[in-house]
Structures are given as structure tokens and as C-alpha cells.
Amino acid sequence: MAKPGKVFIFFNCDADKSEGSMNVFYNRTVYKDTKTSRKNLWKKVKEEYGAERIQIASDKLADVELAITEGDPVSASDFMQFGAIRAFECY
């Protein structure tokens, strides 16, 4: 069996980041673990931030961008309110 890869999904969610509030039918774009897809994930997060659907402290925006584009995108969730990124295995 092939080794699984990773994909990431950005979710709008409640303040507690409960799994029940993360609706895959609303947030249905999957981002691969590639440089281009990570840039597109960062673009999505910026759009949600600009539309005020999520909150990120302005002094943490650079940390969120770095985590998404070069580090662990899931860790960017620590700086977001009403938004989260989750990783899933993909074969």
C-alpha cells in the first residue's frame, strides 16, 4: 500500500473549534501539501480575514502565513478565532 500524503482543509467554525461546527459541505476545498496549494490556502485565510469571517491578531498574521506556507498549516489554527485548518491523510 502506498504511503499516504497530507491534504489540508480550512474550516469556518465556532469559537471553541468544535468538530461539529466544521462543515465539510461549506468548506469543501482541499489543499495539497505542495507549495502552490499552500499559497492558495494562505490566500483563502487572508480572504476570510479580510471579510471578517475569522479573527487573527494583526501582530500574528506573519506567523500564520509562515505556518501555512512553510511550516505546519494546522498550527496556524492556534492564532485564529472562528477558523481552523485540519490535516487529513490522502492516498
Q: What residue ranges do the domains of the chain occupy? A: 5-90
Q: Which residues of the chain have pLDDT under 70?
A: none
pLDDT per residue over 23-35, tens digit each? 999 999 999 999 9
As a whole number of Å, the end-to-end CA separation of the chain is: 9
pLDDT value, residue 61 = 97
pLDDT value, residue 84 = 98
pLDDT value, residue 42 = 98
Query: What's phi and psi for 84, nearest 5 deg?
Result: -155, 155
pLDDT value, residue 23 = 95
pTM of the model: 0.93
pLDDT value, residue 1 = 73
pLDDT value, residue 2 = 79
pLDDT value, residue 3 = 86
